[in-house]
Amino acid sequence: MKHLLNIFRLGVKELRSLWHDKVMMIMIAYAFSFAIYIGATSASTELHNAPIGFVDEDRSALSQRLIDAFYPPRFAEPNLLPLSQIDAKLDAGLYTFVIVIPNDFEKKLRFGKKPEIQVNIDATRMTQAGIGAGYIQQIINQEISRYFGGSKNKHPLPIGIVTRMKYNPNLTSSWFGGVMEIISMISLLSIVLTGAALIREREHGTLEHLMVMPLNAAEIILAKVWSMGLVVLVSAAFSLMFVVEGVLQVPIAGSELLFLFGAMLVLLATTSMGIFMGTIARTMPQLGLIFILTILPLQILSGGITPFESMPHLLQNIMLFTPTSHFVSMAQAILYRGAGFDVVWRDMLAIVAIGFSFFFMALLMFRRSLATAS
Same domain, 105 and 63: yes
CA gap 286, 282 in Å, rounded: 7
How many Å apart are CA 164 and CA 23, to the nearest integer? 47
Q: How confident is the model at residue 271 (pLDDT cuts 50, 70, 90)?
A: very high
User: For residues 166 and 12, what is the distance between their CA atoms, to the nearest angstrom?
Assistant: 45
CA–CA distance, 241 with 247 (Å, rounded to integer): 9
Tell me whether residue 57 is in a domain.
yes
Residue 85 pLDDT class (50, 70, 90 cuts): very high
Residue 158: the pLDDT is 58
Q: Which of 86, 114, 147 is the last residue of a domain?
A: 147
What is the residue-averaged pLDDT of the chain? Answer: 86
222 with 323, same domain: the answer is yes
Question: Do 29 and 89 belong together in one domain?
Answer: no
Q: Is the pLDDT of residue 44 over 90?
A: no
**Where residue 327 falls among pLDDT bands split at 50, 70, 90?**
very high
Same domain, 255 and 344: yes
Are residues 36 and 71 part of one domain? no
In this structure, is residue 341 part of a structural domain? yes
Domains of the chain: total: 2
Q: Are residues 367 and 311 in the same domain?
A: yes
pLDDT at 298 over 70: yes
User: pLDDT tens digit string along 66-83?
Assistant: 999 998 888 999 999 999
Using CB atoms within 10 Å of the CB of residue 231, give its burial: 0 to 12 exposed, 13 to 18 middle, 19+ buried. buried
Domain contains 7: yes
Nearest to 119 by CA among 100, 92, 137, 138: 100
Residue 164 lies in a domain: no
**Mean pLDDT within 273-282:** 88
- Output the pLDDT for position 130: 82
Residue 132 CA to residue 50 CA, distance in Å, equals 8
Q: What is the mean pLDDT of residues 188-199?
A: 90
pLDDT value at residue 216: 84
Q: What percent of the chain has pLDDT over 70?
A: 95
Mean pLDDT within 206-216? 75
Domain that holds residue 130: 52-147
Compute the distance between CA of residue 152 and CA of residue 146 in angstroms, rounded to an integer.
10
Nearest of 28, 339, 332, 27 to residue 180 by alpha carbon: 332
pLDDT higher than threshold 80 for residue 304 = no
Rounded Cα–Cα distance for residues 76 and 94 (Å): 12
The answer as to whether 166 is a domain residue is no
Give residue 164's pLDDT: 75
Q: 248 and 119: one domain?
A: no
Identify whether 176 is part of a domain: yes
Task: Give the predicted TM-score (pTM) of the model.
Answer: 0.76
Mean pLDDT in residue range 74-100: 91
Residues 222 and 340 in one domain: yes
- Is 156 within a domain? no
Q: 217 pairs with which residues across the strands?
A: none
What is the reported pLDDT for 118? 92
Same domain, 180 and 133: no
- Stronger pLDDT, 358 or 202, i.e. the higher one: 358
Asked if residues 212 and 298 have their Cβ atoms less than 8 Å apart, the reply is no
CB 333, CB 339: distance < 8 Å: yes
More confidently predicted of 299 and 348? 348
Q: Cα-flanking dihedrals φ and ψ of residue 173, to 5°? A: -70, -30
Handedness of CA 150, 155, 159, 161 (dihedral sign): negative
Q: What is the CATH number of the domain that holds 116?
A: 3.40.1710.10
3-state per-residue secondary structure call for the chain? CHHHHHHHHHHHHHHHHHHHCHHHHHHHHHHCCHHHHHHHHHCCCCCCCECEEEEECCCCHHHHHHHHCCCCCCECCCEECCHHHHHHHHHCCCCCEEEEECCCHHHHHHCCCCCCCEEEECCCCHHHHHHHHHHHHHHHHHHHHHHCCCCCCCCCCCCCCCCCCCCCCCCCHHHHHHHHHHHHHHHHHHHHHHHHHHHHHHHHCHHHHHHCCCCCHHHHHHHHHHHHHHHHHHHHHHHHHHHHHHHCCCCCCCCHHHHHHHHHHHHHHHHHHHHHHHHHCCCHHHHHHHHHHHHHHHHHCCCCCCCHHHCCHHHHHHHCCCHHHHHHHHHHHHHCCCCCHHHHHHHHHHHHHHHHHHHHHHHHHHHHHHHHHC
Residue 256: pLDDT over 60: yes
Is residue 331 located within the same domain as residue 232?
yes
Give me the pLDDT at residue 150, please.
57
Q: What is the mean pLDDT of residues 255-260?
A: 93
pLDDT-derived band at 231 (thresholds 50, 70, 90) equals: very high
Are residues 197 and 297 located together in one domain of the fold? yes
Q: Is residue 160 part of a domain?
A: no
Residue that terminates a domain, selected from 96, 112, 147: 147
pLDDT at 145: 85
Q: What is the pLDDT of residue 47?
A: 79
Residues 293 and 325 in one domain: yes
With a cut of 80, say whether residue 309 has pLDDT above it.
no
